[in-house]
Amino acid sequence: MKSRRVFGSTLRGETQEVECYERIHTGLGDGVMLRPAIIANMKRYTERRHVLHIYKGVACIFEDIRGLEIVPISHPDTILETERQTQYRYKVSMLIASSYNVSNLYALSDPCALYESQNSPFNSTAKEKTKLRFSRQGEYFPTKLPRLSTVRRTINTAVATGKVITKSRQQIFCDVVGVDLSLDNYDVKFSDEELQVAHDVIGDNNVVGIHMRTSTHQRDYNYMIELVEHVASKVNAVITLDHKWIYKGKRSNVISSIHGIREKWAIISRLKMLIGPDSFAVHAAGAVGIPTYGIFGPTDPECRLAHYKNVAWSGKWKLPTLRGGPKLGCGRQYCWYKTCRFRGCLNARSPRFYWNDAISKLQPGV
């Protein structure tokens, strides 16, 4: 099932009112979270035309929404800087929108980032620190004996703001559009071709899916391969989900999906359970009601996963630590985008812990 893709120039001179949605950023998970706002508004204004300006790589997330006209927006390959790419896509979007009889234009690219930056629990502050070191390097030549010297270094330190991020991105999108958030408005449908791919890949088996990586390393779990092999020792089959990573270990019951986004989403819709970090697959699974377990550390799963029907996630890290005085955990979780190098909140726990926690909370019967 495909929706009609159009370019804005075809709407020039139209008298029918247009509801225009603009999101030109690249996040696939954000695309899933945007669906409830658009679908709710389409139900509200059935007599109007609904046009979505979306980054080309994310457009497939919305292809199944009947009546939504999609304008895929990209940038020339010659533009290499991320900021300039974004600026170019903005200009293209606004140029096309200027040809519509716009009733409402919903700017959906920045509200989540703006809210989260304004309410960030921590800010980074540069501080200078003096360290002692022994060195055999003199001003010009090496010395025979090591000498004690001082070195001044600038490091970034997290400073608490006293603020907390509480709103989900689904709620923020709905607030911008002015509609109520409903779990029924994900309403994902797959074409016969997409469902056939899913059937060919996993059949009718009880398969557990594991999403391997996020788009930013700060949300990644370092032991995903070990998790895959641990889960594979407990279930009939495991499928790994990534855009190019393929399992090359010794487990014969592990397969890998590097299919396109729509096909991968159809595969997810047939899983017995999905496990993954804070990225596309947990949202894709949650949107279609598949039991979903999130491996979360720096970002708050209550904000990211609560608006799905059958989800669970890892609790806060509570192992003892002496960092910054005796306390449980690191004392900073959830730190969101000011993560530390080690990310103990994610990596201090074993694959066995995450698997047992997922089974006990979701009870999927695998």
Domains of the chain: 8-117 (3.40.1380), 122-160 (no CATH), 190-362 (3.40.50.2000)
Looking at residue 77, its pLDDT comes to 94
What is the percent of the chain with per-residue pLDDT over 70, rounded to a whole number? Answer: 92
Q: What is the pLDDT of residues 90-115, one digit of tens each?
A: 999 999 999 999 999 999 999 999 99
Asked if the model's pLDDT at residue 74 lies above 90, the reply is: yes
Measured CA to CA, the distance from residue 114 to residue 7 in angstroms comes to 29
Looking at residue 174, its pLDDT comes to 98
Looking at residue 152, its pLDDT comes to 77
More confident residue, 185 or 344: 185
Question: Under 8 Å CB-to-CB from 332, ≥6 apart: which residues?
Answer: 121, 122, 158, 338, 340
Q: What is the pLDDT of residues 188-228, one digit of tens each?
A: 999 999 999 999 999 988 999 999 999 899 999 999 999 99
Mean pLDDT of 19-33: 96
Question: Under 8 Å CB-to-CB from 149, ≥6 apart: which residues?
Answer: 132, 133, 134, 135
